[in-house]
Structure 1
């Protein structure tokens, strides 16, 4: 028997292909990234919009808060009117006075608070001495700002018509 030569053949080492890279991304990944960016942008814009919308309410509540200072009923009513003007059109609010103003406040609150105390309000607004009901009247203003602002869906045409 003949002896065969057992010399190895001159072969090169095995070269594996490069691992697939992340770039360039497939269109599905770009769509997912774009969707995430749009959702984050929408959330940020919504938060900014809400903060801006609720800023007048927060400022009015801070000024009307009985813990941080005592307001007179006339200054509380002035602050209430300013807060209402931030949310309602000036053409619908500015001309309201007396019973029409109190009716508007009660209509937006959903219960009679201001018309029931109309005599007390008229007395407190135009009297220099402090009334014994002053803190209750200021508390009514605080409640109105807290519960009625910002307004829900608007009902056109009913403001001041009673």
Structure 2
């Protein structure tokens, strides 16, 4: 009798490895896709630059609005002191936004007309904005409602004037 072999044959030994496909490239295969990616990157760079530029250009506005907020929070200050602070704030903001030669020599009605032109309204020359030119020289200080209207006008001017 023939004896059966005691060593069992490996059933996997005769298999052949299946070749794997090539790795998929992450680089686009067509020139149109490459062009689209380049244009997208250029648009992203331009947008980031524009946002950073606008933020840098409008920094004086943010600082002026923060100062206006602190002026508003000083409730215990006298009306004449509040008016004086508002006048200085508007002057400094205008000097930051416009050329010094254009803003520095202005006073009185010319100053108010300049503020109207830069804002696109007439609230400074014909409204509550007149307090910026005449308020510090009045013997009777303006009342609280006029000052609040002036604060709102100054806030709108800071946010909306165009250089």
TM-score (norm 1): 0.66
TM-score (norm 2): 0.65
Which fold has the larger relative contact order, with Cα–Cα distance below 8 Å and residues 6 or more apart in sequence? 1
- From 132, 141, 149, give the equivalent of 1:136: 149
Q: State how far apart, in whole Å, the 2-side matches of 1:24 and 1:116 are.
A: 65
Bigger mean CA offset, 133-142 vs 122-131: 122-131
| Structure 2 residue 61 is the aligned partner of structure 1 residue 48 | no
Please report how far the alpha carbon of residue 115 of structure 1 lies from its aligned counterpart in structure 2 after TM superposition. 1.5
Aligned length: 139
- SS of residue in 2 equivalent to 1:22: coil
Q: State how far apart, in whole Å, the 2-side matches of 1:40 and 1:24 are.
A: 19
Gapped runs of 5+ residues in structure 1? 1-12, 155-162
Give the root-mean-square deviation of aligned CA atoms: 3.2
Q: State how far apart, in whole Å, the 2-side matches of 1:91 and 1:99 are.
A: 17
Q: State how far apart, in whole Å, the 2-side matches of 1:67 and 1:110 are.
A: 25
Please report how far the alpha carbon of residue 128 of structure 1 lies from its aligned counterpart in structure 2 after TM superposition. 8.1
